[in-house]
Amino acid sequence: MTEKEKMLNGEFYDSRDPELIRIYHKARKLLLEYNNLNSENIKEREKILKLLFDFVGKGIWIEAPFYCDYGENISIGENTFVNTNCMFLDNNKISIGKNGLIAPYVQIYTASHPLKASERIVQEGNKSRYKTFTRPVDIGDNVWIGGNSIICPGITIGNNVTIGAGSVVTKNIPDNVLAYGNPCKVMRELE
């Protein structure tokens, strides 16, 4: 199994693997170009996003600057808006449905590490490395995620959900609810 396959399977993998580093550098080049484009250059922006992401729905809009690790693990549905300074750590799949609103400074993480340093850090002679594993993030249709929110690895957010600003989402969120806080909790149903 390749390191990329291990990464996408949620197993420990080597993040410095040459194949992953190549994908990372490709994404960095595309992001540099995207983040420096004139906002009026719509066709070029769309072209770059199609090269960067796995799937791009019609009518998506991503404000610059935008950041991600690999890009190719991201799918975004039609008419979704991603505001400025968002970071999608796409070491595993990040799927966002249609008609989403992602506010400024939202962070979506798929990568994680063992909690105990003795399990996280591997000593190899004079060098050390760390263990990393991943879990996908799935965000439904018609979801609004408020500014400065963090979506942790392995989270599923249902359809028609509003996540309040500054939330840290550590557990799955069902359809049709308002949820917020640190940790994020369902506060009420939305009709």
Catalytic residues: 113
Sign of CA dihedral 41, 42, 43, 48: positive
- How far is CA 172 from each of CA 106, 140, 151, 175, 177, rounded to the nearest angstrom? 17, 11, 10, 10, 12
DSSP 48-90: HHHHHSSEE-TT-EEPSSEEES-STTEEE-TT-EE-TTEEEE-
Is residue 73 within 8 A of residue 54, CB to CB? The reply is yes
Q: If you ran DSSP here, which 8-state letter would residue 171 be given?
A: S
- How far is CA 181 from each of CA 30, 116, 146, rounded to the nearest angstrom? 34, 26, 11
